Amino acid sequence: MPASPPLSDSQLKALAELGEERSADVGETLFRVGDQRYPFIAIVEGEVAILDPGGHEIVRHGKSKFLGELSLLSGQAVFLTAVVTQPLRYIAVDRDVLRALLYEDGPLSDLVLSTFIARREALQRVQDVGLEIVGPRSSQATMRMLDYLRMNRLPFTWHETEDGLDPSSLPLVRLPGGPDLLAPSTGQVSRALGIGRELGPREEVDLLVVGAGPAGLGAAVYGASEGLDTLVIDATVLGGQAGSSRRIENYLGFPAGISGTELTSRAATQARKFDARLASPFRAEALEPGGDRHIVRLEEEHEIVARAVLLATGAQYRRLPVADLSEYEGVSVFYAAGPPEAQACGAARVAVVGGGNSAGQAAVWLARGGALVTLLHRRADLRETMSDYLIRELERHGVAVRDRSEISQLHGADGQLEAVTLTDGERLPVSFLFLFLGASPCTEWLGDVVARDDDGFILTGAAASTDLLLETSVPGVFAAGDVRSGSTKRCATAVGEGAMAVQLVHARLAGAVLSGK
Ligand SMILES: Cc1cc2nc3c(=O)[nH]c(=O)nc-3n(C[C@H](O)[C@H](O)[C@H](O)COP(=O)(O)OP(=O)(O)OC[C@H]3O[C@@H](n4cnc5c(N)ncnc54)[C@H](O)[C@@H]3O)c2cc1C
């Protein structure tokens, strides 16, 4: 568990004004695994030990330190137990009061948020903390549940088998300190943990945003702060693809880069500050356009009626079907080759996977930066999928091309790749891997309700025969971010489009049609 920085005297004073000063004796328990609620605890004097569910000590916190991790803000059940080890004086601040304070106090918010995020990352590496999942690798429901927990950065332990379990009721999900759930949906697990907002069977809002990636969160902040009753739903986890990026280097205002979790957690906190409602996991399953009211149907029979809908469901980059891929993503496995990646690679051995022009361009770009590049693709001849000029460029820059090559295994440690094994058993030393396997938009659920391009991305503006730049072929339904045909697949663009969509929503709701300028 990383050492957390202390609170300053002035921060302790600010907390004391809003919280309650309390004391506790040695041996007293401040909160225990499974508790649904606990306050923010700032230590004035004394010491507290943090224990895992088996009673093993993980860390101790003393004077001026604070307890808690992300569960405190999200309202999740607690994963750990806190026991007093030296006579304690502390300030207890209720979760809702703390949240309000974090909105107002930038430095405190920086300290608390970054510590909570670091603690959650550390918890994910501690054995036997969090949820326990039982189900075999061959069970799709089990693998979906594991994916969901990983995406939500929830700590868990996974066992493939356990005696006496009925195979039809897998996975078994054991909640921290709580009941066992048999074959639950991700929504049931999420709500049993206390995360995520309950939605009524029918909700009416001004703006429904489908998808809580950078585009959706951008729209939530601008929509809610500009007077629209805004609801954002997401099928998996708040933050979208950006949330899974280890380090975003090209986002304006963060010269040292920022982790995707931190950027999107901050965005979600900011959206909530303006009273946007964020609800997950709720998957949109159908859009039924109306004149001035549209209906979006969600799984588990929820129905949202909205005056305007923003589709911000993003695209899913095709990933390699290999174990432990997520451990390397963002550190030594990338889905885009830009200047930061080229710089990181330097003269290293790099493999680019894919047979299309995007893979070719990346390979040339990386080779020009000094990397030793091998391009791996599945077909017999690269000319089937890549432009001739690029194939000549690959030769010119010394890129080695390997036909009929697929990766079956990754090797390395702490996110740093060292080698890959190909399906024919050959092992190649590789320090960085770039995947260009294409991206598919998350638009299947829309059917032909809105016009889409040949690859399924949503058409907007002139391409959808409307004057409003981000409006789809259905008046009052907008699209922003990666899901939009022709968009630049970048975080900043997605946020910008989300913000801009809100202005166009206002225009549509006011009955005014702008020229798009
Ligand atoms: C590993 C990785 C690293 C990256 N690094 C960078 C980087 O360094 N810099 C950069 O600029 N860009 C980076 N990108 C690209 C960037 O993350 C995307 O361009 C950006 O996230 C797009 O935002 P979005 O909101 O349009 O979509 P997304 O982030 O894809 O979010 C869409 C959301 O919609 C939800 N959704 C989908 N279908 C439904 C449905 N039916 N119902 C409800 N919800 C649904 C999804 O669960 C998801 O949360 C990276 C991408 C990846 C995968």
Expressed in angstroms and rounded, the spacing between residue 281 Cα and the centre of ligand 1 is 15
Q: How far apart are CA 400 and CA 371, in angstroms?
A: 12
Choose between 368 and 62: higher pLDDT: 62
CB of 281 shorter than 6 A to ligand 1:
no
| N-terminal to C-terminal alpha carbon distance within the chain | 51
Q: How far apart are CA 174 and CA 157, in angstroms?
A: 10
Q: What is the mean pLDDT of the chain?
A: 90
Residue 132 pLDDT greater than 70, yes or no = yes
What DSSP element (H or E) covers 189? Answer: helix 186-192
Comparing C-alpha atoms, which of 59, 41, 188 is closest to residue 129?
59
Expressed in angstroms and rounded, the spacing between residue 201 Cα and the centre of ligand 1 is 28
Residue range 332-358: average pLDDT? Answer: 83
Choose between 182 and 37: higher pLDDT: 182
Atom of ligand 1 nearest to the CA of 491: 11
Choose between 157 and 121: higher pLDDT: 157
Burial of 3 (0-12, 13-18, 19+ CB in 10 A): exposed
CB of 148 shorter than 6 A to ligand 1:
no
- What pLDDT band is residue 338 in, cutting at 50, 70 and 90? low
Expressed in angstroms and rounded, the spacing between residue 345 Cα and the centre of ligand 1 is 24
Q: How far apart are CA 346 and CA 350, in angstroms?
A: 10
Residue 195 pLDDT greater than 90, yes or no = no
What digits encode the pLDDT tens for the residues 395-425?
Answer: 999 999 999 999 999 999 877 899 999 999 9
Q: Is 354 left (phi over 0), alpha (psi -120 to 50) or beta?
A: left
What DSSP element (H or E) covers 43? Answer: strand 40-51
Residues in contact with 448: Cβ distance below 8 Å, sequence separation at least 6, in sequence order: none
Mutation test of ligand 1: which of 245, 251, 343 has the most ligand atoms closer than 8 Å to its C-beta? 245
Q: How far apart are CA 377 and CA 463, in angstroms?
A: 34
CB of 354 shorter than 6 A to ligand 1:
no
CB of 490 shorter than 6 A to ligand 1:
yes
Atom of ligand 1 nearest to the CA of 497: 26
What digits encode the pLDDT tens for the residues 43-56?
Answer: 999 999 999 988 99
Comparing C-alpha atoms, which of 268, 97, 126, 491 is closest to residue 480?
491
Comparing C-alpha atoms, which of 437, 435, 429 is closest to residue 372?
429
- pLDDT at res. 517: 39
Cβ contact 120:69 at 8 Å: yes
State which amino acid sits at residue 240: G
Protein residue with least CA distance to atom 38, ligand 1: 313
Q: Which two tokens stand for residue 165?
A: 């379990």
CB of 329 shorter than 6 A to ligand 1:
yes
- pLDDT at res. 358: 78
**pTM score, whole prediction:** 0.76
Strand segments (E) across 119-242: 131-134, 156-159, 172-174, 180-182, 202-210, 230-233
- What pLDDT band is residue 298 in, cutting at 50, 70 and 90? very high
Protein residue with least CA distance to atom 7, ligand 1: 248
Q: How far apart are CA 255 and CA 64, in angstroms?
A: 30
Q: How far apart are CA 358 and CA 352, in angstroms?
A: 10
Protein residue with least CA distance to atom 48, ligand 1: 240
Comparing C-alpha atoms, which of 120, 125, 118, 179 is closest to residue 157?
125
Q: What angle do CA 256, 258, 354 make, to 5 degrees?
A: 105
Protein residue with least CA distance to atom 9, ligand 1: 248
Half-sphere exposure of 202 (CA within 13 A, CB side): 3
Residues in contact with 490: Cβ distance below 8 Å, sequence separation at least 6, in sequence order: 250
- pLDDT at res. 513: 47
CB of 335 shorter than 6 A to ligand 1:
yes
Protein residue with least CA distance to atom 27, ligand 1: 314
- What pLDDT band is residue 371 in, cutting at 50, 70 and 90? very high
CB of 446 shorter than 6 A to ligand 1:
no
* Cα-to-chain-centroid distance, residue 289: 29
Atom of ligand 1 nearest to the CA of 248: 8
Atom of ligand 1 nearest to the CA of 247: 8
Atom of ligand 1 nearest to the CA of 298: 42
Helix (H, G, I), strand (E, B) or coil at 501: helix
Protein residue with least CA distance to atom 2, ligand 1: 245
- What is the SS3 assignment for 232-289? EECCCCCCCHHHHCCCECCCCCCCCCECHHHHHHHHHHHHHHCCCEEECCCCEEEEEC
Burial of 357 (0-12, 13-18, 19+ CB in 10 A): middle
Per DSSP bridges, beta strands 400-402 and 230-233 are unpaired
Report CA-CA distances (Å) from 40 to 11, 102, 250, 460. Answer: 13, 12, 34, 46
Residue range 506-514: average pLDDT? Answer: 76
Q: Which two tokens stand for residue 110?
A: 């920086």
Choose between 455 and 197: higher pLDDT: 455
State which amino acid sits at residue 198: E
Q: How far apart are CA 189 and CA 132, in angstroms?
A: 12
Comparing C-alpha atoms, which of 4, 178, 199, 198 is closest to residue 77?
178
What digits encode the pLDDT tens for the residues 86-127?
Answer: 999 999 999 889 988 888 888 998 899 889 888 887 887 777
What digits encode the pLDDT tens for the residues 166-191?
Answer: 888 889 999 887 789 999 988 888 88
Cβ contact 417:424 at 8 Å: no
Cis peptide before 339 (omega within 30 of 0): no
- What pLDDT band is residue 241 in, cutting at 50, 70 and 90? confident
Q: How far apart are CA 158 and CA 175, in angstroms?
A: 12
CB of 211 shorter than 6 A to ligand 1:
yes
Report CA-CA distances (Å) from 486 to 214, 244, 447. Answer: 17, 23, 19
CB of 312 shorter than 6 A to ligand 1:
yes
Choose between 438 and 314: higher pLDDT: 314
Residue 393 pLDDT greater than 90, yes or no = yes
- pLDDT at res. 514: 45
- What pLDDT band is residue 197 in, cutting at 50, 70 and 90? low
Helix (H, G, I), strand (E, B) or coil at 74: helix
What digits encode the pLDDT tens for the residues 249-277?
Answer: 788 998 888 888 889 888 988 898 888 99
**Most confident of the following: 37-41, 237-241, 479-483:** 479-483
CB of 216 shorter than 6 A to ligand 1:
yes
CB of 213 shorter than 6 A to ligand 1:
yes
Residue range 72-84: average pLDDT? Answer: 87
Residue range 426-449: average pLDDT? Answer: 95
Residue range 126-130: average pLDDT? Answer: 82
Q: How far apart are CA 54 and CA 504, in angstroms?
A: 54
Residue 447 pLDDT greater than 80, yes or no = yes
- pLDDT at res. 515: 41
Atom of ligand 1 nearest to the CA of 234: 44
Protein residue with least CA distance to atom 50, ligand 1: 242
* Cα-to-chain-centroid distance, residue 514: 34
Mutation test of ligand 1: which of 199, 231, 241 has the most ligand atoms closer than 8 Å to its C-beta? 241
What digits encode the pLDDT tens for the residues 10-35?
Answer: 999 999 999 999 999 999 999 999 88
Expressed in angstroms and rounded, the spacing between residue 235 Cα and the centre of ligand 1 is 12
Protein residue with least CA distance to atom 17, ligand 1: 242
Residue 516 pLDDT greater than 50, yes or no = no
Protein residue with least CA distance to atom 20, ligand 1: 491
Atom of ligand 1 nearest to the CA of 498: 25
Protein residue with least CA distance to atom 37, ligand 1: 313
Residue listed under structure tokens 């588990």: 300
